[in-house]
Amino acid sequence: MVESSGCVGMVAVVAISSSVAIFALQIQKRLASDFMKKVELELVAGGVKSNRAKKKVRFAANVVEPSGNNKEYRRRKAKERGRAVGEQTVNC
């Protein structure tokens, strides 16, 4: 009778430890699979971003500087602000 109770105990320990090992293996597989899916999505998403068309920037009409005569443009803008080119304001 002593031998059978020891044998039952040993079977219980083996059953529990093998169940825990199988459970841990399944969790590891699931985590690895989820991780690989995330990495794959990031790689694919990174490729999609680089293939997108670049947005064009538009400036307001009063911001764009003409390509012709920059001195004339600056002189005109300075007059609009209330001072001529070359004038220096002195604060007292």
Judged by average pLDDT, the poorest of 10-14, 58-62, 88-92 is 88-92
Q: Pick the more confident residue, 3 or 89.
A: 3
Cα angle, residue 71 at apex, residues 66 and 77 outer, rounded to 5°: 75
pLDDT in tens, 16-63: 999 999 999 999 999 999 999 988 888 877 655 555 677 888 877 777
Euclidean distance between CA atoms 53 and 2, whole angstroms: 79
Whether pLDDT at 1 is above 70:
no
Domain boundaries, the chain: 2-81
What pLDDT sits at residue 3? 67
What pLDDT sits at residue 33? 92
Euclidean distance between CA atoms 24 and 30, whole angstroms: 10
Euclidean distance between CA atoms 45 and 53, whole angstroms: 15
